[in-house]
Structure 1
Amino acid sequence: MTQYKIPVIPGDGIGPEIIREGRKVLETAGEKFGFDIEWIEYPHGADHYLETGELISEDTLKDLSKYQAIYFGSIGDERVKPGILEKGILLNIRFYFDEYVNLRPVKLLEGVWTPLKDKTAKDIDFVVVRENTEDFYIGIGGRAKKGKSKKTLEVIRNMYNVKFGLDITSDSEEIGYQLGLISKEGTRRVIRYAFEIAKNRNKHLSSVDKANVLSDIYGFWREEFTSIASGYPQVKTDFNYVDAVTMWFVKNPEFFDVVVSPNMFGDIITDLGAMIQGGLGLAPGGNINPEGTSMFEPIHGSAPKYKGLNKVNPIATIWAGALLLDHLGEKEASRQIVQAIEKNIVNNKIKTYDMGGSNTTTDVGDDIARLLKEI
């Protein structure tokens, strides 16, 4: 029997409750498909931070690097200033393990309501590949008051180091600035990853940018996309400005197969994608390094007001677990988990409040595990 060791970080708020149900369904898949999961739980989150002052240490990150995939619940707590936990734990993990792909399936399951009139499950089934480590999310910027000032800003990555030396002269009372950066190495690898997915789906890849206004940074993106496209003649391609693509997601979602985007625009369009597939409670995500440690999580937050009430929807977390199994090579198990989720929804009997029901988080997890056994 194959054995997988999987670190799990339940995190804050509803995190432990939704992760509990995800673990239940993955363990059921293991029983059915002949693999075993040993969970290695880590305490990192608000409680751990408030007790110890530690976000996540270098030693913990080195320990996590021994594993292929991390199962992550949610992060964020009203007792801690916004951004501290998110940057100190979640983003730290993404950057440390160079998880340069954010993978977001946008798939409307049968039986799920979508706000798009006359669209059905056959119309909404695409994948967004978001670059996850560069663009305006590299976290360098600052403020400068009137007069002259100097600042040195540095970006350190596994592939490169970049240093900006800024001499600022301003007669404004105060300015704020943020620097964005994309590299040839970072751009080419995520675009290539997206082409590989498209090659194995419906052979259509759409690129998203804003090259008509931010021509230096996103014109560069287009050049690299065009260069890589020449190596995939079987894949149809098109370019889309981010403002236009938000319209087309709503009007013609059936047009899209695989979408690839720089970091900032990918962040925006994937939340729109989550809404058209039925809402945040149904949307999973993967932070992927194909050659290293990856992390899988629901895209919603920690919802602290629902903590301990056993009432939130665990489907996004269970679906994220299916992505995790697919990443480990357990593709049939992953496929059947999604099928069991869909059966639960179509049956329309066991459902949480957000889907019009009154069942608990545990009830939904139990039902999906039961349906998985029956498939």
Structure 2
Amino acid sequence: MKKYMIANIPGDGIGKEVVPAATKVLEAISDIHGGIRFDFNEFPWSCEYYVEHGKMMPEDGLEILKNYHAIFLGAVGNIQLVPDHISLWGLLIKFRREFEQVINYRPAKVLPGVKSKIVNPKDFDLIVVRENSEGEYSEVGGRIFRGEDEIAIQNSIFSRRGTERVMRFAFELADKRKKHVTSATKSNGIFHSMPFWDEVFKDVSRDYSGIETDSQHIDALAAFFVTNPERFDVIVASNLFGDVLSDLGAAIMGSVGVAPAANINVNGEYPSMFEPVHGSAPDIIGKNIANPIGQIWTAKLMLDHFGEEELGSLLLDVIEKTTNKGILTPDIGGKHTTSEVTEEIIQGLKVRS
């Protein structure tokens, strides 16, 4: 039997509701299908933890987690308690950086029964692959002077190693799908980094002759996400562009509540991290109406990462059958609770056993 050690970090807000829901689904998969076992350990690291301890997690938090197979994260953020830049850099981004989770990817597709925000979605099915360690989100820069002469400098860092790495990941992913990669660029407006990005993309594409490519400026690409999303397969983008596009992908699906994400460590030295796209949603805490699908679909990505792709495909199929039956939470036009959607998915898995 394969055993996977999972560090559950529900975090803040509805994370404390959707992580337990998705955990129940994974436990059902283990019980029903056998062959795999999940050992979950839960950690209370969150903004509430910060209020009590003055930090988002213990000093040895990374050491505690480094031997886990994966981190299963719910949501981070409670601006009433902790400023966002402290909570994110103290937990989420710390994991991404220190555990070398250099790739982020987020799928977006039409879910049957979920009304898209666009009139004619035409069954789009795409994945945004985002460089997750450098680019526009580097920590290089600073501020000088004060008052009307104050200057803020933020440097973007694009290494050939990091850029080529994310592009190769995108090409390998596309090779298992519709064999098309789109590069998100802005080389007509950003003078150094984006022409460099284009050059590396051209170099990498030569190693994948069976995959079609195109390159789109980010402003036009964002418009095409709304007007013509079915044209895309895999989109590879820098840290900032990928962040924006993946949230847009969640929006055209119908709600950020259904969108999953994966942060991948590619060298196997540290755990990867799996989290839904949505935030902590303080306005609906405790109402049992948080959408669990984003977290449960995230569990599917985790299964894929473990090489359990057959089980991952089964889980997504059951999710789609659940939405198609109209078992939906209020954010996507339904009237069902978090618990009811979760239970329907579990029952769907049992039927398929």
- Tell me the TM-score normalised to structure 2 length: 0.95
What is the 5 A alignment of 1:1-375? 1-34=1-34, 35-77=36-78, 78-121=80-123, 124-145=124-145, 173-292=149-268, 293-348=271-326, 350-375=327-352
Identity %: 42
State the one-letter code of the partner of 1:217: S
State the one-letter code of the partner of 1:70: I
SS at match of 1:137: coil
Query: How far 1:58 moved relative to its partner?
Result: 4.5
Which structure is higher in strand share?
A: 1
Contact 2:110 2:121 in 1 (8 A): no
State the one-letter code of the partner of 1:306: I
- Shift in alpha-carbon separation, 1:189–1:58, aligned structure 2, 3 A: farther
Cα deviation, 1:51-106, whole Å, max 9, x if unaligned, reads 11122345220221112211000011121122211111000000001111111001
State the one-letter code of the partner of 1:229: S
**Structure 2 equivalent of residue 164 of structure 1:** none
Cα deviation, 1:166-204, whole Å, max 9, x if unaligned, reads xxxxx9622222111110111111111111111111111
- Provide the rounded CA distance (Å) in 1 between the counterparts of 2:314 and 2:208: 31
RMSD of aligned Cα (Å):
1.5
- Structure 2, unaligned runs of 5 or more: none
- Provide the rounded CA distance (Å) in 1 between the counterparts of 2:310 and 2:24: 17
Q: How many residues align?
A: 348
Query: How far 1:327 moved relative to its partner?
Result: 0.6
- Provide the rounded CA distance (Å) in 1 between the counterparts of 2:244 and 2:120: 24
Query: How far 1:351 moved relative to its partner?
Result: 2.2
State the one-letter code of the partner of 2:346: A
Cα deviation, 1:268-311, whole Å, max 9, x if unaligned, reads 11111111112101100001112231100111100122222211
- Provide the rounded CA distance (Å) in 1 between the counterparts of 2:275 and 2:282: 17
- Provide the rounded CA distance (Å) in 2 between the counterparts of 1:289 and 1:185: 15
- Provide the rounded CA distance (Å) in 2 between the counterparts of 1:287 and 1:110: 26
State the one-letter code of the partner of 1:19: V
Query: How far 1:120 moved relative to its partner?
Result: 3.3
Query: How far 1:137 moved relative to its partner?
Result: 0.5
- Tell me the TM-score normalised to structure 1 length: 0.90
- Provide the rounded CA distance (Å) in 1 between the counterparts of 2:288 and 2:120: 34
More displaced 10-residue stretch of structure 1: 350-359 or 31-40: 350-359
- Provide the rounded CA distance (Å) in 1 between the counterparts of 2:197 and 2:191: 9
SS at match of 2:121: coil
- Shift in alpha-carbon separation, 1:17–1:211, aligned structure 2, 3 A: same
- Provide the rounded CA distance (Å) in 2 between the counterparts of 1:118 and 1:248: 13
SS at match of 1:254: helix
